[in-house]
């Protein structure tokens, strides 16, 4: 075995020996150190001393009790209606059904600065659209003009 091979084999063992001696000579502090440089703080000492058996001695948190002023959203009643709660009637009673008459039924009209939109027989339409062979000629507040060979105004259905 030549000298180079001996150095390659022996150097890892020598390195381990040198590092072990260096680590042994450096003081990292102990649990009894009280704040000297390199020592542990009080909290760190408590964490290091904690054992799984200490879990039983920990204080349990108290369960929070909601105040009586909190309500479930499902418990609104008519006395809440004045404060912006849910409407006192069912929503399907507010919206007319699309199949109340034999002809087309108008359930909604919205007129904006640039758009005029209506809901006829459950379909959203604009001026110029066609629905069941009828052209939506004009949309006005509360009514819509439908045309084919004749013209017919349909008005918003009344709420029940």
Q: Give yes or no for a contact between 157 and 96, defined as CB atoms under 8 angstroms apart.
A: yes
The highest-confidence range among 30-34, 37-41, 72-76, 104-108, by mean pLDDT, is 104-108
Per-residue confidence band for 103, with pLDDT thresholds at 50, 70 and 90:
confident
Q: 50-102 pLDDT, tens per residue?
A: 877 777 777 777 777 766 666 665 555 545 445 555 556 665 566 555 555 56
Q: How far is CA 89 from the centre of its chain?
A: 29
Name which residue leads in pLDDT, 72 or 103: 103
Question: Is 148:104 a contact under the CB 8 Å cutoff?
Answer: no
Residue 83 DSSP symbol: G
State which H helix or E strand residue 6 sits in. helix 3-25
Highest mean pLDDT among 28-37, 52-61, 98-107, 118-127: 118-127
Average pLDDT over residues 108-134: 89
Q: Which letter, b or e, does each residue of 120-138 get, where b requires 16 or more Cβ atoms within 10 Å of its Cβ?
A: beeeebeeeeeeeebbbee
Q: What b/e string do you get for 52-83 counting C-beta neighbours within 10 Å, with b at 16 or more?
A: eeeeeeeeeeeeeeeeeeeeeeeeeeeeeeee
The per-residue pLDDT for 23 is: 81
Domain extents for the chain? 92-155
Between 23 and 96, residue with greater pLDDT:
23
Question: Can you give the pLDDT at residue 51?
Answer: 79
- For residue range 130-151, list pLDDT tens digits in order: 988 899 999 999 999 999 889 9
Q: Which tokens go with 21?
A: 């001696």
Q: What is the mean pLDDT of the chain?
A: 76
Out of 24-33, 115-124, 134-143, the most confident range is 134-143
Q: Which residues lie closer than 8 Å to 39 by C-beta, 6 or more apart?
A: 29, 30, 33
CATH 2.30.30, domain 92-155, yes or no: yes
């Amino acid at each position: 075995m030549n000298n180079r091979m001996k150095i390659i084999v022996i150097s890892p063992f020598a390195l381990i020996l040198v590092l072990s001696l260096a680590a042994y000579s450096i003081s990292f502090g102990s649990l009894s150190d009280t704040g000297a440089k390199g020592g542990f703080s009080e909290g760190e000492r408590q964490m290091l001393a904690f054992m799984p058996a200490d879990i039983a001695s920990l204080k349990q948190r108290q369960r929070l009790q909601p105040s009586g002023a909190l309500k479930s959203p499902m418990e609104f009643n008519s006395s809440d209606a004045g404060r912006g709660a849910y409407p006192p009637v069912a929503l399907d009673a507010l919206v007319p059904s699309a199949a109340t008459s034999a002809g087309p039924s108008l359930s909604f009209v919205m007129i904006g600065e640039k758009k005029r939109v209506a809901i006829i027989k459950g379909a959203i339409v604009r001026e110029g659209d066609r629905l069941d062979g009828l052209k939506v000629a004009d949309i006005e507040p509360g009514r819509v003009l439908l045309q084919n060979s004749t013209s017919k105004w349909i008005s918003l259905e009344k709420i029940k």
